[in-house]
Structure 1
Amino acid sequence: MHLELDGHGPLHAQLTRALKSVLAGGGGIEVGRLPATRQLARDLRMSRNTVLAAYEQLRAEGFIAGRVGSGSYVTPSAKEGDPPARSLPETRPPQSAFARRGRRYHQHAQMPGRATPGMRYAFSYGVPYTNPALIDAWSRELTRAAAYTPPAYPMTQGLPALRRAVCDYLARRRGVQALPEDVLVVAGTQQAMSLSARVLLDVGDGAVVEEPHYTAMREVLQMHGARVDTVDVDAQGLRVDRLPDPPPRLVYVTPSHQFPTGVAMSLERRRALLDYASRHDCWIFEDDYDGEFRYDARPLAALRSLDRSGHVIYVGSFSKVLFPSLRLGYLVIPPGLREDYVNAKWQDDFGSPAIEQAAMAGFIGDGGFERHLRRTGRALEERRSALLAALHRELGDELDIADSQAGMHLVAWLRRFSPGGVDALIASARQRGVDLYPIAPYYSRPPERGGLLMGFASMSVAEIEQAVQIVAGCLRAMPDELAWPR
């Protein structure tokens, strides 16, 4: 008997599929006895247990039948069907409106700032600074949490210990006063927006995002059927005076460190936005993705700390300050929306993983989280200073640097070259082992100038200086025809 394994999945499953194919297609086997399991195991050079498991599966599905003391026999019905296809044809079954919107709006772009394989240096943004001390500390917390976390389903809203720890942390660091029952633990900012779209918006409702903006948030809103408008950001943040009429149901903002420009929303604009939401009864989704890291002063108080009418939904993410694979964040919800959000979270996944929640609660409670923030803040400030110094030294006449005094990236605008020159610069730098990233994809309308997002968390000071030297050489070698017309 010739059997061809497909190489996908456990060996017993591969053998089961191969036997089905031979039985259904004939393969020289009549309705008769199969080889003994010991003999087939020797022929195929695999364990008898693997063959036994495959035979048991075929017996359960009616392909073979066993006779006591006689062996296993092929059933007549085994030949009635077509042989199993190695891959199913790509069909286009009827899709839901949600699925159609997903195909239309989701661009399947790579994750923000992810390094291209093979690059020696990468100005990755959106990638937090990590060190061995954090990995060791987190491993200890996970081990401790696994020993005492009950194996049952966790509370949908999140472990009480973590929700209390979040409240204590936000009161100290972000000026947000909240009760544990106001907090919902989620799988990062992306799920927070998905839940918000379901709870707050009907298909056709209006929503506003900043221009430029984090495109994943716009796509989530569009996939849920919202009509999404953009409103410009200037040096003081969102242009509240340009919010549309009629007003939207939801406004998405990053006030502490606007993504991607890096500006902080002024106090005047914050108050104007809160007044707008109160007057028009619309919701503000405050994405505080890396507000902990500031280099000129203490972190700014969150917009939620100024809210007196209960219109701000505050979102924080542990993934951005620890590591993205954690997929853990939280919402602070106005009281009137608690039940609706918890219902939506239950419908999504019953609740976030309990062991990771318990570990995070312990990490915050014993001071490890804030020690990590202090160490990370010092390391980021050193790297940011090195990047600024290198850019001014090597490219001071070529770039306008928009330093935000916060976060893990800055924006550099090209002076001499048109936006098309950015692509040529990126291609040239990658040929020399340096990954650069354009800012243009985060605009719904192309910016007038070409700009780069330059993250500084993932490289050492020495690597930053070496990478800037390479970029400087690439920029100075750019052809004159890509320069602005004079």
Structure 2
Amino acid sequence: MHLQLDGRGPLHAQLTRALKVALAHGRAGQGAKLPPTRALARDLGLSRNTVLTAYEQLRAEGFMEARVGSGSFVTSPLLAEAANDAQPMVAPPQTAYARRAREIHDPAWLGRSQPAGIRYSFQYGLPLVNPALTTAWARELARAAAYTAPNYPDAQGLPALREAICDYLARRRGVQAAPEDVLIVSGTQQAVSLSARVLLEPGDLAVVEEPQYFALRQILQIHGARVHGVDVDNDGLLPDRMPKESPRMVCVTPSHQFPSGAVLSLQRRLELLQYARRHDTWILEDDYDGEFRYDSKPLAALRSLDRDGRVLYVGTFSKTLFPSLRLGYVVMPTALRRDLVTAKWAQDFGSSAIEQAALAHFMQSGGFERHLRRSARTLLERRAALLEGLHAISQGRLEIADSHAGMHLVVWLRGKKNADLDAILAFAQRLGLGLHTIRPHYLRTPERAGLLMGYCGLSVAQIREAMPLFARVLDAAHA
């Protein structure tokens, strides 16, 4: 039997499709005996397990049967149309949600892979590589796997992890919460999505900072919200520019505004809470990297000032540990607790119990905060190296917005327009330097050329090696 594999996907799936095509074109009619698995594997240069898997799939679909001692036989004819699945069906969006998702989200962002040849990438969101953490985490996972119950976890999250988070927040962020207030989620993305499901109907108004984290804005838009941006300055969001129309939801990053780095002043925090009270509005506080401050201890969270139960406090372990650990949490207002937990249950029945158990023990044992202290020292060194390098090559060509916190800096290219930036980034890429525009984080594209420079994923040595390349980029841009 001549079979042609199409090269798409696993070998067993390719072989299954090839066998279907052979059956559909009459090369083996009803009742015909198929080649023995060992012989077919030898003829095609495949493993016998691959052939066995393909035969088992055909048996499961009812196209062949195995007879003990006799072999495998075709039991049902197959139409050519049924075998030809090389071209998947193209369909328009089936719902308004799907239509909005196609219009708003660029699938290219899903992979976020680096172009070939990039040696030094200042991309925000790259993990801080820490071999000691890798070893400690492997140990915690092995320990948790040995005793974690194999059944579905509590959709709200393991009690041990929720208790550990409450203890941590009380000491480090000034947030007083009970374990029943905490919902374990798969990172900030899911926290925002669940909040949008619970709080927003299509067409409702949602306020974001301008600029803001692009993914947060896109989630709200995909859920059908009318997104309104409110400007920020050096003291954070400007409450006097809030809309007169009552928004259902206001999303803020008060401890370290993303991406500008501003800290929302105490006066403005109080004004924002008063606004929420007057307008019957909910506030989502995204505390994405509030643990990392380099000029003082971390500020108390906005949630700690909330007396009306209107703030949803969102934290994540993607920045404090690593992004592949899809765990975060929401400290829920009492009034929304049932709705948020139900939304989480409906979406995925709960986050991984083994990883939750590992994280709970890591926090309870003190390992998490030891890691935070080490990470803060490392990030401080990298930040200092980046600032030193930028000042050395600037020659008046750069405006550096130093935020004294977090894992990134905003750098503006003086005298350059946003329209100039694509050519500048392309030249940097040819040199092996990954620079990244701040443009996606604006609702209204800025006129100036701005960069978002993350330093978490580069060592001090790499940052220093990258600076001469950046200097060449600036020289070319101003030639």
TM-score bucket (shorter structure):
over 0.9
Contact 1:252 1:284 in 2 (8 A): yes
Q: Give the aligned partner of residue 362 of structure 1.
A: 361
The alignment partner of 1:225 has SS state of: coil
Contact 2:128 2:457 in 1 (8 A): yes
The alignment partner of 2:156 has SS state of: coil
Q: Give the aligned partner of residue 97 of structure 2.
A: 98
Q: Give the aligned partner of residue 142 of structure 1.
A: 141
Q: Aligned in 2, Cα 1:285/1:38: closer, same or farther, shift over 3 Å? A: closer
Q: Whole-Å Cα distance in 2 between the matches of residues 181 and 375 of structure 1?
A: 31
Q: Aligned in 2, Cα 1:449/1:41: closer, same or farther, shift over 3 Å? A: closer
Shift of 1:124: 2.0
Bigger Cα displacement from structure 2, 341-350 vs 215-224: 215-224
Contact 2:155 2:350 in 1 (8 A): yes
Q: Give the aligned partner of residue 58 of structure 2.
A: 58
Contact 2:34 2:73 in 1 (8 A): yes
Q: How far does the alpha carbon of each residue in 1:422-468 deviate from its partner, in whole angstroms, 9 at most, with x for none?
A: 33322222211111111122111121321111112122222212212
The alignment partner of 1:477 has SS state of: helix
Q: Give the aligned partner of residue 124 of structure 1.
A: 123
Q: How far does the alpha carbon of each residue in 1:152-195 deviate from its partner, in whole angstroms, 9 at most, with x for none?
A: 10000000000000000001110000000000000000000100
Give the partner amino acid of 1:33: K
Q: Whole-Å Cα distance in 1 between the matches of residues 431 and 46 of structure 2?
A: 49
Give the partner amino acid of 2:211: P
Shift of 1:336: 1.3
Give the partner amino acid of 2:175: V
Contact 1:402 1:412 in 2 (8 A): yes
Q: TM-score, normalised by structure 1?
A: 0.93
Q: Equivalent residues in 2 for 1:14-93 (5 A)? A: 14-27=14-27, 32-46=32-46, 50-65=50-65, 71-75=71-75, 77-80=76-79, 82-93=81-92
Give the partner amino acid of 1:256: S
Shift of 1:140: 0.8
Q: Whole-Å Cα distance in 2 between the matches of residues 13 and 454 of structure 1?
A: 43
Give the partner amino acid of 1:74: V
Contact 1:208 1:248 in 2 (8 A): yes
Q: TM-score, normalised by structure 2?
A: 0.94
Shift of 1:255: 0.6
Q: Whole-Å Cα distance in 1 between the matches of residues 77 and 29 of structure 2?
A: 11
Q: Aligned in 2, Cα 1:396/1:403: closer, same or farther, shift over 3 Å? A: farther
Q: Give the aligned partner of residue 469 of structure 1.
A: 468
Give the partner amino acid of 2:426: A
Contact 1:125 1:453 in 2 (8 A): yes
Shift of 1:144: 0.8
Q: Whole-Å Cα distance in 1 between the matches of residues 155 and 58 of structure 2?
A: 40
Q: Whole-Å Cα distance in 2 between the matches of residues 225 and 322 of structure 1?
A: 32
Q: Equivalent residues in 2 for 1:128-207 (5 A)? A: 128-207=127-206
Give the partner amino acid of 1:19: L
Is the aligned partner of 1:371 residue 2:387? Answer: no
Shift of 1:115: 4.2
Q: Give the aligned partner of residue 391 of structure 2.
A: 392
Contact 1:113 1:437 in 2 (8 A): no
Q: Whole-Å Cα distance in 2 between the matches of residues 213 and 118 of structure 1?
A: 30
Q: Give the aligned partner of residue 442 of structure 2.
A: 443
What's the C-alpha RMSD, in Å, of the aligned pairs? 2.2
Q: Whole-Å Cα distance in 1 between the matches of residues 458 and 477 of structure 2?
A: 25
Q: Aligned in 2, Cα 1:379/1:247: closer, same or farther, shift over 3 Å? A: same
Give the partner amino acid of 1:471: F
Contact 1:386 1:461 in 2 (8 A): yes
Contact 2:21 2:80 in 1 (8 A): no
Q: Whole-Å Cα distance in 1 between the matches of residues 93 and 102 of structure 2?
A: 13
Q: Whole-Å Cα distance in 2 between the matches of residues 315 and 369 of structure 1?
A: 18
Contact 1:112 1:125 in 2 (8 A): no
Bigger Cα displacement from structure 2, 334-343 vs 395-404: 395-404
Give the partner amino acid of 1:284: I
Q: Whole-Å Cα distance in 1 between the matches of residues 353 and 426 of structure 2?
A: 44
Shift of 1:292: 0.5
Is the aligned partner of 1:429 residue 2:399? Answer: no
Contact 1:115 1:124 in 2 (8 A): no
Give the partner amino acid of 1:194: S
Identity %: 63
Q: Whole-Å Cα distance in 2 between the matches of residues 446 and 56 of structure 1?
A: 55
Shift of 1:58: 3.0
Is the aligned partner of 1:234 residue 2:233? Answer: yes
Q: Aligned in 2, Cα 1:83/1:95: closer, same or farther, shift over 3 Å? A: closer
